Amino acid sequence: MTALVESLVAGKWLVQDDAERAPDRDPARLSRVLAQVPQSGEALVAGAVAAASEALPAWRTTSPLKRGKILLRAARIIAERGEELAGLMTAEQGKPLAESRGEVERVVDFCEWMGGQGGAMSGITAPSEDPGLFAFTVLEPVGVVGLITPWNFPLNIPNWKLASALLHGNTVVLKAADLTACCAQELVRCYHEAGVPAGVVNTVTGSGRVVGGALADHPAVAAISFTGSTAVGLGLAARLAGRGAKSQCEMGGSNPVVVCDDADLERAVAHVVVAAYGTSGQRCTAARRVIATPAVHDALVDALERGRRRLVVGPGDRDGVDVGPLCDPRGLDDVLAAIGRARAAGADVRGGVRLDGELSDGLFIEPALATGVTAQMELGHEEVFGPVLAVQRARDYEDALALALATDYGLSASIFTQSLARAMDFTRRVHSGMVHINKGPIGGESHMPFGGARRSAFGPKEMGAARDFYTQNKTVYADVRLEA
C-alpha cells in the first residue's frame, strides 16, 4: 500500500483518510508513486495554528540555550539518518545522490551553527540622557510563524527556516511543497525525536492556494517566511501587509555571470557548468546568463558546449549521473516552452529537448545552451527554472555590466576576472543581494546572510541574518535610583 503523508498537529501525527489526495511521484520514474499527499483544508490549518498559539507562551520563555540544545540533538539525529534521508530525497526530488548527501550535510551544519547561537541572543545596553535610568533592549520572538517551502531543496530550506524560527522562540506551522512532502515529514520527525515540545512545530500538507492562503489570513499568524516564485511571493507580502503581519520572501533570479577577457577560462567553465546544470538548473541562484567580453566569447562558448555534452543525464540513484530529472511536470512544460520561444526569437539553442527511450518515464531534458541571446529575449532577463544557460556577447566590461543589470531580479551575480579593481567595481555596481568573485553564483554559508535584492527578495535576509526576521526588539528604561 502506498504511504499516506501525515500532518503533525499539537504533537500528534494525523492520518487524513477523508481528505482528497495528490500522488507524490518519483520524477525519474513517473509510474512509481511514493506516497499520497492529503490536501488539507482550512479547518486543519486553523487547528495547527491553535496548537502553535497554545504552545507559544511556554516555548518563548524557554531559555535560548535549552532551545539550542534541542537543535544540536536534531543535528545528531539527522546525521545518523543521513544516508536514509539522502536516498529519500533522490527518490522524491530527483537530484543525484551525491547532491542529496551534500544537502544533508548542509542541514546538519546549519542545525549545529544555529543551535550554538542560543547564548548569542543578546540585546544592547546604552546610556540614557537621565543618569538615573538604565537603558537596554531584549530580543523577543515574533510569535506564531508560517513557513512555506519549495521542492528544490526539500530538506535544506525547510530546515534553515525551522531552526531559525525555533531558536529565536517562535512556534511554527510548516507547509512544505507537496512534491517533496515525504522529505519534510521526515525532517520534522527528527526535530520531534530531538525533543521539540508538542505544538511548537506543526505541519500541514496541501495546495499553496488553500493552505498558504489560510495561513496568510489567520490573525494569529504573526509572520510568514516564503521561498518560491516572485509572483506568489509579492502577492503574499501584499496580503500580509494588509493586516500588519511580517513577511520574508526569497524569490527568483536571472543570475548573471560576467566573464572578462582576463578570466581564467578553465575555472570559469568548470564553475558555470555546475552552477547552470546542477540540480537540473532548479536553483534560485543557478547561473542563468553568461555574459562574455569579446576576446573570450568564442572560446568560452566552445568550452561550455564541451562541458554540456559531457554531462550524464539519468536517474539520480544511478552511478555517474550528473543531471537528474526535473521535479515538476508543469515545470518541464514551462522550460520546453521557453526554449521554443528562444528559438523563435532567433537564439541558437543546442540541446533542450525532452529525452525519451529508457528515460521516457521520467521528467528528463537534455541540458540546453543558448547563444546569440539579447537582453530583449526572455532568456536575457527572465528566470527559466531548468537546465538552460544563455550566453550573451558584450562589447566590453561596461556593456557586460549593463547586460547584467538588464533584469528586474537581483539575487546572485558572479564575475570572473584577474583584476581586483574590476572585481570590486562589479561588486559595488551590480544590483544583487549576493556577489561571487571567480566562482559561480551558487552556495552560501550558515553564518552569512542569504537573500537577494529588487524583485528577488522582500523582507529581511535568511540564514546568518535570521534574527532580523524572527525576533523583535523590546526597549526597556529602568529607573535604578535609590530612594532618599
Helices vs strands, H then E, count in the chain:
14, 25
Q: Which helix (H) or strand (E) holds 73?
A: helix 64-80
- Residue 117's nearest CA partner among 136, 143, 139 is 139
Spot the catalytic one: 250, 378, 383, 462. Answer: 250
284 is catalytic: yes
Buried (b) or exposed (e) across 116-126, using 16+ Cβ within 10 A? bbbeebeeeee
The span from the first CA to the last CA of the chain, in angstroms, equals 79
Distances (CA, A) of 355 to 75, 272, 276, 283, 302: 39, 23, 19, 21, 23
Spot the catalytic one: 284, 327, 383, 462. Answer: 284
327 is catalytic: no
Which DSSP string corresponds to 247-271? Answer: EEEE----EEEEE-TTS-HHHHHHH
Sheet holding 348-350, edge to edge: 348-350, 368-371, 388-393, 287-292, 255-259, 412-416, 434-437
Q: How far apart are CA 30 and CA 360, in angstroms?
A: 9
Q: Name every residue whose Cβ is closer than 8 Å to that of residue 372 and which is 6 or more positions away in sequence.
A: 346, 347, 348, 391, 393
Q: 99 near 442, Cβ under 8 Å?
A: no
Active-site residue numbers? Answer: 250, 284
